[in-house]
Structure 1
Amino acid sequence: MGYDATNYLSPDISKKELADFIKSLGYSGKGTNYYFFKNDDYKYLCGVSLQISRTDNSISVYTRTPIYCSFYDLEFQNSTIRKIKKQFGGYFISENGRNRYFIIGTDNTTPPERGCYAAHERLSNRFNELLFLLDNVNQDYNQAEAMESFGIPSSATLLSNLSTTYLSSIIENYFRDLYVALIKYSDKKEKIITTSNINKYDLFEVSEGKLTIEDSVALSKSLQNIRKIDSYFRDINSKIDIKGVLSKPYHRRKETLFQTVERVLEQRHSLVHRLNVDISYKKENVISDIKSIQVALDRVYEHLCSIYNWTMINKKTNRIQLKNK
């Protein structure tokens, strides 16, 4: 599902002229396939895809944004359609009809709100990638049992252990993305930057335009330690209480979500730095941990929304739906 539209143009238009114009709008690509995305105050969530087709009777320019696109994604798609029509004539058909643009309403979100939403939005695919991998790796039960009776981890058990490194990376990158989105617009920004021990090579990347100064600050933080993560976010806003939020009861378990995150991160450290493989850590264990981490990171996002009075995402669809769709 998404927002689809097609401009129909005269076949007399040259391929080069059309391609050059599309690139002048900010699209990148070549041949028949192009894509627009811009890192501008987190306005664009998905960007706009564009495809050129040619027949004997016409040239068509197809544009699309996904259903969960941002206000600015859809606004840029409307702008693209409008500018192509103005430059080359013809007509377009959208889901709203002939020569009818998409209705996009208004947007009152803030840059940090959009940045944190984008970080949260990316989680779904990252967790699904790991779950898909685990679901497609199986081993004969008897063979696995025989191996582990000699203290040798089976391939399935080894994969479960290795999965904690990817799961830890999801956690680390999520908190880094949130941290950058918050400090970039925080009134504590100057203090945080000037007191950070930024890596000199990261500073070089900043000078080359490959990193922002906020990215380099985040990279200087130890985001593989949930207790330090809690402290870093408190430095931005004293109301942010990640430990408190994750220490609340969850399904009457003895282990809180905070303890689950801490255990997974420590398990990753133990594997990477000491090559410790936990033979008792099976596929069902890592799947359970993935689900718990999902809930934990959702809670952090909800906590930020509550503190900053941001609009919550739709909990059933995990999407911000445009009202006029």
Structure 2
Amino acid sequence: MSFTSENILPEGTAYNKLINLIALLGYTKQRNEFKNQGMLASYFWYEYKNYRSYVGVELDIYKKDGNILVYTRTRSGRSYWDLEHQNKTIKYIKDYFKGSFSTDEGKNRYFIIDKKVPTELEAGLFIARWVYKNALIKPKIYLDSRNLKGDISRVEHTGISFIDDLNPRFFSNNLLIPYLVATWEEYLKKSFIVILKYTDNRDKLFKEARFSVNNLRDISAGNTSIEEALVEKFSFQRPRIVAENFKKVDEKLDIFTVLNKPILNRKVSLFDSIEEIVELRNTFVHEGGMDLSINDKKLKVIIKDFEVAVDRIYDRFGAYYNFEPSRDF
């Protein structure tokens, strides 16, 4: 589902003036190698500051029967501010150039915007969760589409270690472990940065931080934010350390409890499960050691463990910061 609009400008409208208005609205021109008939240009708007955009606003300009047509589109995952800017774009073009417009709501009717404006903290935590969900698409597609050939690529173990050690399927499965840990770590870092930006306890952490000269140069040059520089001084792989890190931001923010519960009917908690996966990652990365027990079924369980852990943490953020976690990815 998407939200689309069309502005029909009067004949004789100055194209350059339209381009200037679009630039003032913050759009940047996009290279379009697949221009449709009559298309003049494509533009895109995205607000990078303060987590305001989820998908941005697409804008295309066409010319048909002597009229300039302006189309805008936001995808279903749009944020409050994406849709607000889409309405603003439609209105400014209508007010400045006259003509008419239509949206999915009808002729000369603007999109209906949600009454509730999300906080920037809520938006930032949602984006972190969304990015993580997208990151898991790759390994899932990879597992479903890889085509390992030969008798040695057995689905299950033979029980003979030197044969299993040469099985490309087990090697392939072990290769995914560092990626899964990296995406888990990145999700937690992004969430930590969001909370750090909007917490009252940030000054204490900044005072304790020992920024290097390179850190200070990057911050001064605008290449990184002070929050991004600080987060690199923490580890976000092992669940116990992760829980301790978030308590440094807010003593009452407890994610240990939600991870210390088992998943489904298993006796092992997510806390211990992910701790074990991190150990597997370290052994593989630093020593080249493989876990020959990781067949396809177990790998999918590992992926599921990370997904459930991230969802539990995200839900905990929602409960603590008083917002409804969104699954509109």
Per the normalisation by structure 2, the TM-score is 0.89
Q: Trace 1:258-297 onto structure 2 (pairs within 5 A).
A: 258-297=271-310
Q: Compared with structure 1, are the counterparts of its residues 11 and 284 closer, same or farther at alpha carbon in structure 2 (3 Å cutoff)?
A: farther
Q: Deviations over 1:188-241 (max 9, x none)?
A: 110111212334333322111121111111122111222211111011112222
In the alignment, which of 59, 66, 76 is matched to residue 68 of structure 2?
59
Name structure 2 gaps, 5 residues minimum.
32-40
In the alignment, which of 104, 107, 118 is matched to residue 95 of structure 1?
104
Q: Compared with structure 1, are the counterparts of its residues 17 and 280 closer, same or farther at alpha carbon in structure 2 (3 Å cutoff)?
A: same
The equivalent residue for 1:158 is 171
The Cα of 1:182 is off from its aligned counterpart by 0.5
The Cα of 1:57 is off from its aligned counterpart by 2.9
Question: After the TM superposition, which of the residue ranges 282-291 and 140-149 deviates more from structure 2?
Answer: 140-149
2:22 maps to 1:22: yes
**What is the rounded CA distance, in whole Å, between the counterparts of 1:14 and 1:165 in structure 2?**
55
8 Å CA contact 2:30–2:44 kept in 1: the answer is no
2:233 maps to 1:220: yes
**What is the rounded CA distance, in whole Å, between the counterparts of 1:114 and 1:307 in structure 2?**
15
2:84 maps to 1:75: yes
8 Å CA contact 1:11–1:54 kept in 2: the answer is no
**What is the rounded CA distance, in whole Å, between the counterparts of 1:258 and 1:292 in structure 2?**
10
Q: Trace 1:121-136 onto structure 2 (pairs within 5 A).
A: 121-136=130-145
- Is the partner of 2:258 in helix, strand or coil? helix
Q: Which runs of 4+ in 1 moved over 6 A?
A: none
Question: After the TM superposition, which of the residue ranges 202-211 and 124-133 deviates more from structure 2?
Answer: 202-211
Q: What count of residue pairs does the alignment treat as equivalent?
A: 316
Larger relative contact order, structure 1 or 2 (CA cutoff 8 Å, min sep 6): 1
Q: Trace 1:307-322 onto structure 2 (pairs within 5 A).
A: 307-313=320-326, 318-319=327-328
Q: Deviations over 1:261-297 (max 9, x none)?
A: 2222222221111111222212222111111110110
**What is the rounded CA distance, in whole Å, between the counterparts of 2:210 and 2:286 in structure 1?**
24
Q: Deviations over 1:61-107 (max 9, x none)?
A: 11111122111110010001111112222211100111100010323
The one-letter amino acid of 1:264's match is I
RMSD (CA atoms): 2.0
The one-letter amino acid of 1:235's match is K
In the alignment, which of 115, 128, 148 is matched to residue 139 of structure 1?
148
8 Å CA contact 1:199–1:216 kept in 2: the answer is no
**What is the rounded CA distance, in whole Å, between the counterparts of 1:287 and 1:13 in structure 2?**
57
The equivalent residue for 1:184 is 197
The Cα of 1:42 is off from its aligned counterpart by 1.7
The Cα of 1:301 is off from its aligned counterpart by 0.6
Q: Compared with structure 1, are the counterparts of its residues 239 and 6 closer, same or farther at alpha carbon in structure 2 (3 Å cutoff)?
A: same
- Report sequence identity in percent: 30
The equivalent residue for 2:127 is 118
Per the normalisation by structure 1, the TM-score is 0.90
**What is the rounded CA distance, in whole Å, between the counterparts of 2:232 and 2:58 in structure 1?**
31
The Cα of 1:303 is off from its aligned counterpart by 0.8
8 Å CA contact 1:33–1:50 kept in 2: the answer is yes
Name structure 1 gaps, 5 residues minimum.
321-325
8 Å CA contact 1:29–1:35 kept in 2: the answer is yes
2:313 maps to 1:304: no
- Is the partner of 1:143 in helix, strand or coil? coil
8 Å CA contact 1:202–1:216 kept in 2: the answer is yes
**What is the rounded CA distance, in whole Å, between the counterparts of 2:293 and 2:166 in structure 1?**
9
Q: Compared with structure 1, are the counterparts of its residues 16 and 152 closer, same or farther at alpha carbon in structure 2 (3 Å cutoff)?
A: farther
8 Å CA contact 1:153–1:279 kept in 2: the answer is no
